[in-house]
Amino acid sequence: MRLTVHDIARVANVSQATVSKVLNNYSGVKESTRKKVTDAIEELKFTPDSVARSMVTNKTNTLGLIVGDISNPFFAESAKIIIGKAQEKGYDVIISNTDHDDENLENAIQTLISKRVDGIIISSISRSSMRIKKLHENGFPIVLYNSRVEGDSSNSVVLDNYRGAVLAVDHLVGLGHQNIAFIAGPTKYLTTYERYLGYREALEKHGLVLNTDHVYDGEYDYRKVYDFSYNLLSSPDRPTSFFATSDQMALAVMDAAASRKISIPQELSVVGFDNMSISANAYIGLTTVSQQKENMAELALKKLISLIEKTESDALSIQLSLKPELIVRKTTSAPNKK
Amino acid sequence: MRLTVHDIARVANVSQATVSKVLNNYSGVKESTRKKVTDAIEELKFTPDSVARSMVTNKTNTLGLIVGDISNPFFAESAKIIIGKAQEKGYDVIISNTDHDDENLENAIQTLISKRVDGIIISSISRSSMRIKKLHENGFPIVLYNSRVEGDSSNSVVLDNYRGAVLAVDHLVGLGHQNIAFIAGPTKYLTTYERYLGYREALEKHGLVLNTDHVYDGEYDYRKVYDFSYNLLSSPDRPTSFFATSDQMALAVMDAAASRKISIPQELSVVGFDNMSISANAYIGLTTVSQQKENMAELALKKLISLIEKTESDALSIQLSLKPELIVRKTTSAPNKK
C-alpha cells in the first residue's frame, strides 16, 4: 500500500497543505506543527516520494547547478554557497560537472531537465552558445553565474571582468613591471575574453607592447598551464610577472616557478583572479581579483527562484555586473633590478 | 501530445531497446546508430523524461553522492573522479553536501531516495550511525567511501587509517621530533578515530607522552583549527611539528604559522592526510599520507553498480582497506636545534 499526504495529514491531525509545506521544507511552519508531521511520518514510515509528487504538483523543488570543474575550488566554493542559500529557501541542488566540455554541457542540461529540475544555474558556458538562448526564449528558468553569452538577453550575474583585469595590470605596472605574461585560458568564454580585452587595453594604456608568445589561451588544464609557464620561465626573455585569469591557474604558475627555484615575489610576481579561500592562506598569500562569490550566488539564486515562483510582476531579464576589487597579498612586489 | 520511445524508434528505424540504450547512455551502441536516434530526437523535439521513464523501468540511472564538505578539495576531487567514472558506466551523479552535520546527512539520504536514485555513495558519516545499518539491511544499494560504521557490515572502501597515522608519526619521530601536536577533528568519524589511535600508539611505541593540550578534536572548522594552532604556536611549550588528519586542516596550521612568521620546515614541520592536488604544488609541497582517491572511487563505484545491477552471484558485503603511502615533500625536516 502506498501512503499519501492525505494519510499523514490524518495521523498528524493537520491540513494536507501543512504536510506539503513541511515536506517541501517551507519556512513559516510552527516548530510544534512541524514536529506533529515528522512524528506522523516516522509512525507511518513514509518516504516522501518527490518523483510521484512532481507528477501532481509539476514542481520538484530541485535546482540544477552546472559547473565547469568541481575540482577547481572556485567552482566547489561557489557550489557550497549556492547549496546553502538554496536550502534556506527550500530547494535541493543537483550538481553536474562538465569539465568545460560543450558536449557535456549539452548533456548536463538535457539530464537536469529530464529530471525535472525547476530551474538551472550555469557557471560555465561558451559565449557563442545558442542553447541558452533557446531555453531562455522558451521561458525555462535559467540564470548564468559568472558567465554570459554574447548578444543574448539571458539572465546573468557576472563580475565586471574587463575592469578586474585592468586593476591587475595597473597594479603590476605600478610596481614597475613591464614584462607581464598572461594566462588567459580559452577565450571562447566571454568572462575570459573580457579579461583578455582588459589585459590588452591596460597594456596599451601604459604604452606596453603585447607579446603573444607570453599569452596562454589554451584550455583550462593544470598540466598545460604548468608546462607553458615552466618553458616561459626558462626562456631568455623571461617575464617578471604573470597575470592569470583564475587562482587555480595562478597556482600552476607558482608551481612551475617553485620547480624552477624562482622565488616569489623576489624574482617573479603573480596575480590571480577569483579569490578562492586558499588564496587568503598566509602561507600562500596570492594577490588576486576578488569575484564576490557570495554576492553573485545570492543574486543569481534570487533571480532564479523568482522566475520559478513567478513572484515578479515583470519578467524582465537581468544582466548584472558587479564591481571587482584587487586584493594585494604577498605574491607581488617590485621587479628585481638587474 | 506526449512522445514516447516508440515514436523515436519508429522515426529512427531502430528497436525500442536501442533507443533505451542511447537514452541511458549505455556503451556498445554503434556511433551511426546513436546518431540515427539523436537525429530522430532532434526531429521530434523529444525530451527524454527520466521521471516518467522511471515510473516504468523503476531505474533512474542516477546515483547519489553525499559529501561532508564540497569546498574541501578532498571531497571535490573525489566527486570529480566518481562523476567521471560513473558517466563512463552510464550513470549520472547527484551530489549532496552535509557540512558534516548529522541532520543534514539524514535529510540528504531522504531527498536522494525520494528522487529515486538507484544507489548512494556516502563519504562522511558518524561511526555510530544506525541509519546506514537499516538501509543496508533493507537491501538498498549503498557504499561508504572513506567512511565506516563501527560493528556494521555495510559495504565500505577506506584507507588503512591507523597505519597511515603511524607512518606520519614515524616520519616525524625519525626526523627527531618529540613534541608533535595533533589536529584530529571530530573522533565521531571512524576514519578520524582510527587515525587518532594510530597517533596515540605510535607515540607510545616511541616512548613519547601524549599531551592532550596538543590535540585538537573539535569540529572541522577552518577558523577553529587556525585559532587552536595559532594559540599553541604562541605558547611556551610550542610543538616542533603538527600532524593533521586532513590536508585542509594542515593548510590551516600552515596559515597560522605563516601569520606568526614561523617558517616551515625550518621552525615547524607539518604533515597532512589526503594528498589533495594542491599539496603536490611545488610552492606548497605538503608532506602527506596519500588517500588513493582513484582506487577508492573505482572500488566503491564498482561495488555500488554491481549491487544495483545485481551482477554478483553473491551479495556478500565488502569492507576494503587500502594501503596508505607517505609522500615526503618540503614541509618536514629535522627540528631546530636550540
Whichever domain contains B43, its CATH number is 1.10.260.40
Q: Which residues of chain A does B258 touch, with a Cβ-Cβ cutoff of 8 Å?
A: 281-283, 285
Judged against a pLDDT cut of 50, whether residue A273 lies above it is answered with yes
Report the range of poorest mean pLDDT among A72-76, A105-109, A240-244, B231-235: A105-109
User: Domain check: are B286 and B165 in the same one?
Assistant: yes
Nearest to B151 by CA among B167, B132, B164: B132
SS3 A280: helix
User: Domain check: are A191 and A217 in the same one?
Assistant: yes
Q: Which of B70, B131, B329 to mutate to test the interface with A (most CBs of A within 10 A)?
A: B70
Whichever domain contains A170, its CATH number is 3.40.50.2300
The per-residue pLDDT for range B212-249, each reduced to its tens digit, is 999 999 999 999 999 999 999 999 999 999 999 999 99
Q: Which of A112, A115, A229, A331 to mutate to test the interface with B (most CBs of B within 10 A)?
A: A115
Q: What is the pLDDT of residue B201?
A: 97
User: Domain check: are A39 and A77 in the same one?
Assistant: no
Q: Which residues of chain B does A80 touch, with a Cβ-Cβ cutoff of 8 Å?
A: 69-71, 97
User: Domain check: are A127 and A211 in the same one?
Assistant: no
CA B278 – CA B297 distance, rounded (Å): 19
Is the CB of B71 less than 8 angstroms away from the CB of A73? yes
Is the CB of B71 less than 8 angstroms away from the CB of A92? no
Looking at chain B, which residue has its C-alpha nearest residue A286? B283
Q: Would residue B303 count as lying in a domain?
A: yes
- Region A11-19 average pLDDT: 81
- Prediction pTM value: 0.83
User: Domain check: are A137 and A222 in the same one?
Assistant: no
User: Domain check: are A45 and A68 in the same one?
Assistant: no
User: Domain check: are A286 and A302 in the same one?
Assistant: no
Q: What is the pLDDT of residue A304?
A: 94
Q: Would residue B175 count as lying in a domain?
A: yes
Q: Which residues of chain A does B83 touch, with a Cβ-Cβ cutoff of 8 Å?
A: 70, 97
Q: Which residues of chain A does B285 touch, with a Cβ-Cβ cutoff of 8 Å?
A: 258
Give me the domain span that covers residue B249: 161-291
User: Domain check: are B67 and B45 in the same one?
Assistant: no
User: Domain check: are B120 and B239 in the same one?
Assistant: no
Q: What is the pLDDT of residue B64?
A: 93
Is the CB of A257 less than 8 angstroms away from the CB of B113? no
Q: Would residue A237 count as lying in a domain?
A: yes
CA B48 – CA B226 distance, rounded (Å): 49
- Residue of B92, B97, B277 with shortest CB distance to A111: B92
A77/chain B closest Cα distance in angstroms: 5
Q: Which of residues 216-255 of B touch A (CB under 8 A)?
A: 222, 251-252, 254-255
User: Domain check: are B99 and B211 in the same one?
Assistant: no
Q: Which of residues 94-113 of A touch B (CB under 8 A)?
A: 94-97, 99, 110-111, 113
The per-residue pLDDT for range A146-201, each reduced to its tens digit, is 999 888 888 999 999 999 999 999 999 999 999 999 999 999 999 999 999 999 99
Q: Would residue A124 count as lying in a domain?
A: yes
User: Domain check: are A261 and A193 in the same one?
Assistant: yes
Is the CB of A281 less than 8 angstroms away from the CB of B264? no
ipTM above 0.95, yes or no: no
Q: Would residue B330 count as lying in a domain?
A: no
User: Domain check: are B229 and B307 in the same one?
Assistant: no
SS3 A305: helix
CB proximity A138 to B under 8 Å:
no
Beta strands in A123-268 (DSSP E): 142-145, 155-159, 180-183, 215-216, 241-244
The per-residue pLDDT for range A31-73, each reduced to its tens digit, is 888 888 877 776 665 454 544 444 445 678 889 999 999 999 9
Q: Which residues of chain B does A277 touch, with a Cβ-Cβ cutoff of 8 Å?
A: 71, 222
Is the CB of A70 less than 8 angstroms away from the CB of B48? no
Query: How many domains, in total, are found in chain B?
Result: 3
Q: Would residue A334 count as lying in a domain?
A: no
Q: Which residue has the cell 617573479?
A: A268
Looking at chain A, which residue has its C-alpha nearest residue B25? A107
- Residue of B110, B116, B251 with shortest CB distance to A51: B116
Looking at chain A, which residue has its C-alpha nearest residue B24? A111
Q: Would residue B327 count as lying in a domain?
A: no
Is the CB of A51 less than 8 angstroms away from the CB of B282? no
Is the CB of A254 less than 8 angstroms away from the CB of B114? no
Q: Would residue A215 count as lying in a domain?
A: yes
Q: Which residue has the cell 531502430?
A: B14
Q: What is the pLDDT of residue A11?
A: 77
Q: Which of residues 270-289 of A touch B (CB under 8 A)?
A: 277-278, 281-285
Residue-averaged pLDDT of chain A: 88
Residues of chain B with pLDDT under 70: 1-4, 24-25, 42-58, 312-315, 337-338
CA B238 – CA A193 distance, rounded (Å): 50
Q: What is the pLDDT of residue A55?
A: 44
Q: What is the pLDDT of residue A321?
A: 93
CB proximity A263 to B under 8 Å:
no
Q: What is the pLDDT of residue B51?
A: 46
CB proximity A134 to B under 8 Å:
no
Q: What is the pLDDT of residue A161?
A: 96
Q: Which residues of chain B does A92 touch, with a Cβ-Cβ cutoff of 8 Å?
A: 96, 111, 115
Is pLDDT larger for residue B130 or for residue A225? A225
